[in-house]
Every structure is written in C-alpha cells, then in structure tokens.
A and B are shown apart, each in its own frame.
Chain A
Amino acid sequence: MPTITYIDHDGTERPIEAKNGETVMETAIKNSVPGIDADCGGACACATCHVYVDESFMDKVGQPEEMEQSMLDFAENVQANSRLSCQIQVSDDLDGLRVTTPESQH
C-alpha cells in the first residue's frame, strides 16, 4: 500500500498508509488529518480539501481538470503546486507522495 505523508502548515508530518483507488482527500478524512475538511465529500464543489503537492510529484499527480482548476482559481493562497485532494486518486505510483495543507484550512 502506498504511503502518503500529510504535512501541516507548521511542519508536523503524518505518514499514512493509503488504499489504492481512494483519493488523497478520503485517506486524510478517514485518518483525521487536520486541515482537510472536504465538506462536499469529494464532489469538487467546495474547495475545502486544498493541498500543496510536493514538487517532485507534480508530474505523477498530473494536471487538474477544468472543473478543479476553476475551483482552485478562487481558493485562498493558491500556488503552482495547488490541487484539490479529492481529485487525486491514490495508486502505487504515488507511494511516498507528500502534500502540505494550507494554513487557512486549519
């Protein structure tokens, strides 16, 4: 099972074993990672699961689709490596992924 490390804005690291097929958001919610609310349950409707993806994984994670990009355009503190974690599906390729949660979601 791939491991994903969630990093709080203050630097606290939480490595978590994720399940293939679930999303980075779902993995966070089920493991009570602070800073990811995901109010809409992954419908790409609320932008409360915003994360920064570690630069070294940007290629593997891929580009946001149009819907997600539009949501991100209006999220707070967006960076080039911003993604909505409900739109990133866990796979073996993502083993070792590191994502940081924005301060505004805490």
Chain B
Amino acid sequence: MDLSTAKNIVVIGGGQAGAQAVQSLRQFGYEGAITLVGDEAALPYQRPPLSKAYMKGELAEDRLYFKPAAWYEDNKVETLLSQRVKKIDRANRQVLLQHGGHLDYDAVIIATGSRPRPLPVEGADLENVFELRGLSDVEHIQPKMISGQKLVIVGAGYIGLEAAAVARQLGLEVTVLEMEQRALARVTSPVISSFYEALHMEHGVDVRCGARLGSLKGKDGKLTHAVLASGEEIEADMVLAGIGIIPNVELAEDAGLPCKNGIIVDEDARTSDPRIFAAGDCTVRPLAHYARTGRLESVHNAIEQGKLAAAAIMGKPRPALDCPWFWSDQYNIKLQIAGLSQGYDEIVVRGDVEAKKFAAFYKKNGRLIAVDAINSPPEFIASKRLIMSGASVASETLADTSISMKEIAAAAA
C-alpha cells in the first residue's frame, strides 16, 4: 500500500522506537501531520543511562532527551504526553484516547514498548519496592541510593546487575537474588555469567544464584525484609525488581492484529494491517541472519524498526539492516554484544579473562553468530561484520590474539 501521500500519522509510544520513527518520517520527507502519543510526562529520552550514569548522578537529565522541545515545534510534531491510547479503531481509522477524543489516521506506528514484569510475590506492593523502566522510577529510587542502605535486587539480568554496580559504587550494601543457577542465564553463556558473578562479588555484592524470592515482608506498609523460598530473611531498605519485561501488545491484540509474545511484523515493521506498523520492544520480527523470528529488547532494534516503518510508509528503499547489538556498562567494564548467541554449538574465548579483557565468540555449524566482548571493542566491531557476512572463521584463528581482529576481518572478507 502506498502511504507516501498520507496526511495523518499517529505514533503510539514515546520511547526510542517512537522517537526514531518520528525523526525518520521527517527525514524521509513526510510533510503531513504527526501526533506522538506517550504515556509518560517527559518528551522521548534515552533509557539505557537510567540504570547506568544517570542513576549514578553522573549525567544531567537534559542530556537524556533525544531532541529539545523546540525540535518538535520546529518539525510540527504534536506531542500528547501523559496520554494513553484506549483503542485503535481500524474500521474508522481512528486512534481513541483514554481521556476522550480521537485522532484520525492514514498510518499508525505502534511503539508501545514493554513494562517490567511485576514481582509475583506477596508484599510486592510494599513501600520501597521498585522497578526500573522510566525516568519517574529513577526519581523514586535515587533519593534512597545512599551509602549504607541495604538494597536487594531481584533478578541478575543486565538491568539488575547494572543497578547493583551503581549501588555499590554509591556505597550501598547490595544482595542480588537470581532464581536460575547463574547470572544472565537467559541472555548469555556460562563463561560470561561466571565473569559477572565474580566481578560483582569482587566489588562486594552478595550474589545469590539459585535463590528464589518467596515474599517481601514489611512493617506498617514499609519493606523490611526479602524472604527467600528457603525461609531465609534478608534485611532490606529497598528492593529493586529486574526480572524481565512484558511486551505491551494489548492495543494491537484488541485491534485484532496477530501477536505472539509481541506484535508480529514483517521485514518492513508492518503488521497484518498495511496501515499499521510496530517498532521496538513490543514486536516479534524476522531476524534476517538467523532464519527465524524473535523479539529483541534493544536500542538497536528500536532504532532500526523505527527507520524501517518510516521508510516503508514513505515508499523509500528499505534501510540496510544492522547486525543486532547491545551493550552494558558495569563498574569500569564495558560489555559489547554483537549478534544473537541463542542456539550456539561452540564457544571460543579470545583474550585474558583474568585481565578482564576478553571476548566469547559463539558459533553455530562453523559460522560466527555472536560475540560478547568485554573491554574489547575490536572484537565487537569486527564481529558485527563477520556475522553479517555469514563468515566462517577457524576457531584457532579467533582464539589467537597474535592475529589482530583487523586481519581476521580482512581475511574473511
């Protein structure tokens, strides 16, 4: 469907994907009306620093925003903040707002993102039990990030571990509870899990794997203890839940768009309705280099799908797909991830784990599919290219640090 003559585009969701879609629409020459509806009070901002530099107080709030307020005015983007969409009425091509009123549309981009999975235990509603997704969460958490406070983090995923690193650096006593047998179990290999467990223990975090939270205990509505399934009680001034996210698919589902743990979209970020696109955490998309579909929770994905949707609407050639990438900052360690390691059948370690400078390469059927690069940018960057080109690189070569990544990339090209 040709939408390049569209007059009204509604973007639902003001996160990274929504913000990118809006910018790309204007960049690709769209001149009609754009309305960005966001349920947060703030203009679109970057989320990654919320569990890193911003949480630590090292980054001023105004540096989080993608664009200053004036940009939206200059580019004639109407922003409806602190507003929720009630329904997408496909028959009448209208987006109905929670507070009443509606927006007519020629095209819609759903960028509703995801929400933290709530703690499924008694006491989750006690005071000083937090989750971490938005600016307002950090506003609540930050005043309690005081030296000597006892913080219990539930879930040793990236958010939980990044928050643990910040908290330790601010002098809090930190316990991390992980019900799996290792940290980062869902997202990486045992090599990287062990590294991060050791790193956090070295910094004084009490990392408890195989520890299931039973309940949260409080007094007068205020949290006092985290109680493990084993019965053990851990004193806590604050609990931070980081046990994963739930994609916000309800609007799409209600509108009858196919969803399966995410809104199903094609390679142009288009849903089953040719006028409706979806981008970011809330989608399940084709993963070009992995011959499967999947849901990616990342900046890379939000940006890419925001661009894809805008390009498709404007009838532009599909932008080149990037190799999926992620990053995590903890203490002075930078982890850069390229590709998706799921389904690997071989791990090759290059570099020096003790020196905290190494990379774990993941291969499947001899082909490089992903890398976790710890303080190793060349391994990260070179792998992005190797993964995209479907290169087979001998494991002995990858492990041999006397051969530079530049040479390896050049030889495979």
Contact = CB atoms under 8 A, between A and B. Distances in A.
Contact of B63 (A22, A32, A45, A73): A22
B406 interface: yes
Interface in A8-42: 21-22, 26, 29-30, 32, 39-41
A70 interface: yes
A47 B63 contact: no
B68 A41 contact: no
Contacts of B63: 22, 26
- Chain A interface size range: 10 to 19
Contact of A74 (B299, B327, B378): B378
A39 B303 contact: yes
Which of A30, A32, A45, A71 counts the most B-chain CB atoms under 10 A from its CB? A45
A80 interface: no
- Chain B interface size range: 20 to 34
A47 B70 CA distance: 27
Contacts, number: 50
B60 to A, nearest CB: 8
A59 B46 CA distance: 32
A39 B406 contact: no
Contacts of A29: 66-67
A88 interface: no
A22 B60 CA distance: 10
Contacts of B375: 67
B377 A67 contact: yes
A30 B62 CA distance: 11
Contacts of B102: none
Interface string B303-339: 1000000000000000000000101010000101000
Nearest to B60: A21
Nearest to A67: B377
A21 to B, nearest CB: 8
Interface in B44-89: 46, 48-49, 60, 63, 66-68, 71
Interface of B: 46, 48-49, 60, 63, 66-68, 71, 299-300, 303, 325, 327, 329, 334, 336, 375-378, 380-382, 385, 405-406, 409
Interface of A: 21-22, 26, 29-30, 32, 39-41, 43-47, 67, 70-71, 73-74
